[in-house]
Amino acid sequence: MSVTSATWAPVDAWPPRTEAALAAAAKDGHLRETHILELKRELVGGDAANKELAADLASLANDGGLLFIGIDETTGPGLSPVPLAGLAERIEQVAHTRIDEPLTLTFAPPIESSTQAGHGYLVVRVPPSPRAPHMAGGRYWGRGDKTKHHLSNADVERLMARRARWAVGAEQALNEWIAKDPIVGEERLNAHLFVVADPVSPSDRLLLPVFTGNWQATFQRLVSATSHRGDAFSPDVPSGLSNFSPTPDGWAWYSYSVFGAREEGVEATGAHRESSALKLEICENGQLRLMCGRAAQRQQQQFQPERLLLIEAKNLGLTARMVSLAQRVSAEAGFLGSWDFAVGLTGLRGAISLLRFQAYWGAGAGYTEETYMSSTRAALAEIEAGSGPIVERLLGRLMRAIGADQLAPVAEHFRLV
């Protein structure tokens, strides 16, 4: 059985990644059991211990949390290194065989003891499960401030109702976001790109603690730290964003030419207005939304018919930035769960590959549908590993349809690192 391990780098280096950092966290009072943190001095052998571990994991999965092995809460808490060989495998086996439905866990690299060879500490990340509540030992489990408990019928019904709401996913959110396109009718010449990222599970006030005080500076810091592979393009994030404003759902950073009256020195009309349209919204519940008015652009050349050219670098790059932003938001908010990503392009009928056009003078068939939509779910550990496979799942089908998937700039985006 393989064990998923990820190198974490969240804000303020939490959870600790060295023995010294563990000791400091214990001294400063950060290692205390809560509804999202469980401490265990050790995992003894036997069936009873495995049942207890299964109940702990099931209870943490309702809201997500961390399980520390090798921390004795009764001593202050204190460090109590345990044998590491086979420990992660045993925990994952319990998560797969003793819990209904099985849980998927991730593990930080083991923290080795400085005094006992082969001993150390293990930190297990239990993401909030979109399938919660989970059953262990024939019972549903929840957590209070300090301990786990059996869930009441009312608690189970509440969690089941929450599961049903989450099942709607990012696709509905994408359709709602597309419906807010500010450029429609005769104003519209280009294809438009829409990207939505939804935390699983969502929380109505997930980002309120993050966006306090000077929220514009927080927004700018998070977005400026995003990255993508491949060629430069315009408009990009954050260079194409110029103005901030609160929204009914959260906060936005946008190009003023579309969402305001005009940019300084640039009239807010015509093709430039659409091609510079860019808006990024971060919602209180953690949802991320992006709109770009230049996914594909019409081009007329002498003695040639007008063409709609799909700008691969822009669609791949902005989608990759949204995956990167989800990672940054997760770290800032201490969010451990998965993300649902959805991408939509509208006004796409007849679009051909810009890369193929530049290389082969019009080679490649036009896209035959008006709209392209795709969605995928990614665990936080996968997001942290790199955006490439996630972007491929979202846009690979489109790239194949226009014959661009094998071109070097596109293949570069789809690589893991």
Is the domain of 196 the same as that of 94? no
Query: Cα-flanking dihedrals φ and ψ of residue 252, to 5°?
Result: -135, 150
* pLDDT one-digit tens code per residue, 301-331: 655 678 899 999 999 999 999 999 999 999 8
Region 387-413: mean pLDDT is: 90
Instruction: Supply the CATH number for residue 79's domain.
Output: 3.30.950.30
* pLDDT one-digit tens code per residue, 205-235: 899 999 989 999 999 999 999 988 877 888 8
Cβ atoms within 10 Å of 360's Cβ, excluding its own? 11
Asked if residue 5 is part of any domain, the answer here is: no
**Residue after which a domain boundary falls, among 139, 165, 191:** 165
Asked if residue 277 is part of any domain, the answer here is: yes
Q: Specify the pairing of strand 352-353 against strand 307-310.
A: parallel
* pLDDT one-digit tens code per residue, 231-270: 788 889 999 999 999 999 999 999 977 666 444 444 444 5
Asked if residue 362 is part of any domain, the answer here is: yes
pLDDT at 233: 86
Q: Is 49 helix (H, G, I), strand (E, B) or coil?
A: helix
Asked if residue 285 is part of any domain, the answer here is: yes
Rank 124-128, 130-134, 280-284 by mean pLDDT and report only the highest.
280-284
pLDDT at residue 184 above 90?
no
**Residue after which a domain boundary falls, among 165, 196, 218:** 165
Reported as a pLDDT band with limits 50, 70 and 90, residue 186 is: confident
pLDDT at 9: 37
pLDDT at 266: 43
* pLDDT one-digit tens code per residue, 88-115: 999 999 999 999 989 888 888 999 999 9
Is the domain of 265 the same as that of 140? no
Q: For 142, which DSSP code?
A: E
What is the share, in percent, of the chain residues with pLDDT greater than 90?
52
**Residue after which a domain boundary falls, among 124, 149, 165:** 165
Is the domain of 63 the same as that of 179? no
Is the domain of 56 the same as that of 177? no
Range of the structural domain that residue 41 is part of: 11-165
Query: What is the pLDDT of the chain when averaged over all its residues?
Result: 86
Is the domain of 209 the same as that of 339? yes
Angle at 351 between CA 345 and CA 352, to 5 degrees: 125
Q: Which residues contact 264 (CB under 8 A, 6 or more apart)?
A: none
Reported as a pLDDT band with limits 50, 70 and 90, residue 194 is: very high
Is the domain of 122 the same as that of 228? no
Q: Is 202 helix (H, G, I), strand (E, B) or coil?
A: coil
pLDDT at 414: 81
**Burial status of residue 310 (CB atoms within 10 A of its CB: 0-12, 13-18, 19 or more):** buried
Reported as a pLDDT band with limits 50, 70 and 90, residue 202 is: low
Domain count, the chain: 2
Is the domain of 82 the same as that of 188? no
Is the domain of 51 the same as that of 187? no
The DSSP secondary structure of 246-269, one letter per residue, reads: E-SSEEEEE-HHHHSS-BTTB-S-
Q: Which residues contact 260 (CB under 8 A, 6 or more apart)?
A: 243, 254, 268
Region 47-62: mean pLDDT is: 94
Is the domain of 218 the same as that of 351? yes
Residue that wins the pLDDT comparison between 408 and 416: 408
pLDDT at residue 121 above 90?
yes
Is the domain of 235 the same as that of 367? yes
Asked if residue 3 is part of any domain, the answer here is: no
* pLDDT one-digit tens code per residue, 380-394: 878 888 898 999 999
pLDDT at 270: 52
Give the span between the Cα atoms of 4 and 338, in whole angstroms: 14
Is the domain of 161 the same as that of 258? no
Region 162-168: mean pLDDT is: 65
**Residue of 238, 221, 372 lying closest to 317 (CA atoms):** 238
